[in-house]
Each structure stands twice: as C-alpha cells, then as structure tokens.
Amino acid sequence: MLAPGLIILAVFFGLPIIDLIRTSFTQWPGVGEPQYIGIDNYVTAFTSSAVRDALFRSVLLGVGAALVLCAIATVLAALVSGGIRGKAFYRVVWFLPAIAPPSAVAVFWALSVQPRSGAVNAFLGAIGLGDTHAWLADPSTVMYVIIAVAVWAGVGFAFLVILGAMEEVPVSVYEAASIDGASRIRQFFSITLPLVRPVLSMIVLLEVIWAFNGFTLVWGMTQGGPGSASTILPVQVYKDAFLFANFGLAAAVSVVGGLLLLVVGLVGQALGSRKGVDE
C-alpha cells in the first residue's frame, strides 16, 4: 500500500533533488551540455564573500523576524485571551496580513516607504521626524525594513496559533492560582508561557524557515539592492542562475542552503522532543 506514495515522492521530490545535486557538480550556462567540474562550485560557494554575506542576511532575516514576530504575537494573544471585548474582531484584523499574497505585500510596503510620497514618511513628517529618508535605498536600513515587513506579514498566523494554545489551558489552573494570590502577570509567566512553550518553539522554527526562503518579499521590494545590501540566499541563487548564467553554482548554493535548513529543522525537532520528555 506504500508503493504509490513512494513512487509519487520519488517522482516529485526525489528526482528533482537528484538532478539539482548532479547539476551542482557541473558548469552549465542553461543551454547545451553541462560540463563536469567536480567540487569547484562548492569551493566557490564556501569561499565567495557574496554567498557568505547572503547567508548572513538570510540568518538575520530568519532569526530576527521570527523572534520579534513571536514576541509581538504572544503579547497580542495574551491580551485577547484575557477577556478583552471584541475578540472575534481582533482575530480577523490581526490575521488579515497573513492572507495577502507575498508579492502584494512587497509592492504595498515598497510604495509605503518611498521618500516623501510614501505613507510611512508622510506620518514621520507629520510628527516632525522627517519625511525624506529613502529606507530601501539606504544599505544601513534596508534589511531592517524587510524584517519589519516580514513581521507584519507573519504576525497574524502566529497570533492565531498561540491564541489557540492559550485557550487550551484549563481555566481551573488560573482559578487555583488566583486563590493563591498570583497576579495576572505572575500567572502569565508561571503558567501561560510554560504551557504554550512547545507551540512557541514550533512557530519560531516555521518562521525561521519561511523567512529564510523569503525570495518573493525581498525581490519584490528591492531585488536584492541597493547593490547587494538585501541579497539573501534565495536571491543570490536567482542571480547566479538567471542573471550570471551559472546554474551549476546556483545549484551548489541551493544544496548548501537546503542542508542548512535541514539541520535547523532537525535541531528544532530535537529540542521540541526534549521539552516534551522534560514535561
């Protein structure tokens, strides 16, 4: 009975991965016959400053967005689960950015942070903080803007998942804590956070993986610029393949990035399992 499933996995997942690995050992401009060059592409991938910088920016985007997003979503979920009025309204409002296509999010925020004409600078100008800064054209601010947009786009999903986990905590636990004199803040840190910790770990892991692969968002907002100031690993792969016609190097960088995400996933699973045993 497992045979059909294994065949589908082999055709749709196994063969493309094998072809990607095979291409990573070749020099291929995209047309003609690939030439086998051994591990040269991997040597280039590990010694190239462009690839190293793109990897650093991917980690910055993935980890930065995941931690900030998770913190904001946890606070919002705690406020809503605490009996605030209009709970259904807040569920819808906070989840709206999560259903927007990444390309639409990229265009919306690229226009919103334009100097003078963008809504962000118009707001900053109205409160006396200036209205001319080109956020996406400044290498020192472009990655922070992208992280902020990634947080905005992902906080709704994390909010709903964390809220669901918080609402699963038995009310009797909080009632017992209240009888013992525990304040709401003490209950949050001593009861809520420990009980939803596995969910928080899962969200951080998912957000790191999603943000790490945020090609659409970055390409839609900056195309990796200015210069290469916002070039993350998937954008570097795209440039190597389709702008520099070096599909072999692009395949090698893809394999390295895939292995890195695999390690991140395995470590996350191991930590989650360990917590489960401890609990």
Residue 238 has a pLDDT of 94
DSSP state of 39: T
In the three-class reduction of DSSP (H, G, I as helix; E, B as strand; rest coil), residue 231 is classed as coil
Q: Is the dihedral of CA 47, 51, 53, 56 positive or negative?
A: negative
pLDDT of 43 above 60: yes
Distance of CA 57 to the CA centre of its chain: 12
Residue 127 has a pLDDT of 85
The per-residue pLDDT for range 179-236, each reduced to its tens digit, is 888 888 888 888 888 888 888 888 888 888 887 778 999 999 999 989 999 999 999 9
The total of other beta-carbon atoms located within 10 Å of residue 155's CB is 23
The per-residue pLDDT for range 246-256, each reduced to its tens digit, is 999 999 999 99
DSSP state of 130: -
The total of other beta-carbon atoms located within 10 Å of residue 110's CB is 18
pLDDT of 172 above 90: no
Burial of 169 (0-12, 13-18, 19+ CB in 10 A): middle
The string of DSSP codes covering 23-37 is HHTEE--SSS--EE-
Contacts with 23 (C-beta within 8 Å, 6 or more apart), sequence order: 34, 247, 248, 251
Q: Confidence band (pLDDT; 50, 70, 90) for 108? A: very high
Model-level pTM?
0.85
Residue 1 has a pLDDT of 59
130: left (phi over 0), alpha (psi -120 to 50) or beta: left
Q: Beta strand 35-36 with 26-27: parallel, antiparallel or unpaired?
A: antiparallel
Q: Which helix (H) or strand (E) holds 35?
A: strand 35-36
Nearest to 112 by CA among 98, 131, 126, 93: 131
The rounded distance, in Å, linking the Cα atoms of 259 and 154 is 24
